[in-house]
């Protein structure tokens, strides 16, 4: 599946795009997935018609604590990008069917310009889910019988042993920090 970012979208922004049958499954500030940013597992939100990015302390940043709550304050950066963000989520309805929701929101200079519903559909019925799970159970039983064979278990153990040996060998020939410091000092890099 790969990495993605989250985007929080108020349910009120989706009214008019979705029918009430799908709307009831969304939380007030529903979190969707998107791959339209840098896919760094960041969190974005839509608030007051603008796009925001949650700022996290990066390496070297000092943490800001609220003394009463002993908790880091959340900071949000208002974005000024012109971008169309595709976001989506899936869930199970009361019948046990998988439902897929997908939207496009267009932002001009960080301000919400257009909203569009891409998909709102049942992606897999309860019966299809049941059949898929049964298929996987049959396949896994065959795989597990194969994995219980002596030859397979032997080579699996050998594989893990050789991996450990490989790590040990790699550690043996790495240059120690003491030697690296000595080389940097001799070459003048530390000056």
pLDDT, tens digit (0-9, with 9 covering 90-100), for 48-85 = 999 999 987 655 555 555 555 555 677 899 999 999 99
pTM, 2 dp: 0.67
Virtual CA dihedral for 67, 69, 70, 71, nearest 10 degrees? -120
118 has pLDDT over 60: yes
Among the listed residues 49, 56, 55, the one whose alpha carbon sits nearest the alpha carbon of residue 9: 49
pLDDT, tens digit (0-9, with 9 covering 90-100), for 94-106 = 999 999 999 999 9
Q: What are the residues whose beta carbons fall under 8 Å from the beta carbon of 159, sequence distance 6 or more?
A: none
Confidence of residue 173 (pLDDT cuts 50, 70, 90): confident
Mean pLDDT of the chain: 89
117 has pLDDT over 80: yes
Confidence of residue 113 (pLDDT cuts 50, 70, 90): very high
Percent of the chain with pLDDT over 90: 71
How many C-beta neighbours within 10 Å does residue 131 have?
12
Among the listed residues 87, 106, 79, the one whose alpha carbon sits nearest the alpha carbon of residue 31: 87
**Three-state SS for 67?**
coil
Distance between CA 53 and CA 38 in Å, rounded?
Answer: 12
CA angle 32, 35, 37 (to 5 degrees): 105
The burial of 138, by beta-carbon neighbours within 10 Å (0-12 exposed, 13-18 middle, 19 or more buried), is given as exposed
Work out the end-to-end distance of the chain between its first and last CA atoms, rounded to an integer number of angstroms. Answer: 46
1 has pLDDT over 70: no
């Amino acid at each position: 599946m790969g990495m993605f970012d989250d985007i929080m979208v108020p349910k009120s922004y989706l009214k008019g795009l979705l029918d009430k049958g799908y709307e009831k499954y969304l939380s007030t500030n529903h979190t969707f997935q998107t791959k339209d940013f840098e896919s760094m597992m960041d969190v974005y939100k839509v608030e007051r018609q603008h796009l925001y990015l949650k700022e996290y302390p990066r390496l070297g940043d000092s943490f800001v604590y609220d003394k009463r709550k002993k908790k880091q304050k959340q900071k949000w950066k208002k974005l000024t990008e012109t971008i169309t963000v595709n976001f989506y989520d899936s869930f199970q309805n009361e019948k046990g069917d998988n439902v897929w929701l997908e939207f496009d929101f267009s932002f001009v200079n960080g301000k919400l310009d257009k909203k569009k519903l891409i998909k709102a559909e049942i992606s897999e019925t309860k019966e299809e889910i049941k059949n898929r799970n049964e298929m996987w159970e049959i396949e896994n039983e065959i795989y597990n019988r194969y994995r219980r064979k002596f030859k397979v278990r032997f080579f699996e153990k050998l594989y893990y042993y050789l991996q450990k040996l490989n790590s040990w060998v790699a550690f043996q020939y790495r240059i120690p920090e003491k030697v690296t410091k000595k080389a940097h000092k001799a070459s003048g890099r530390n000056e």
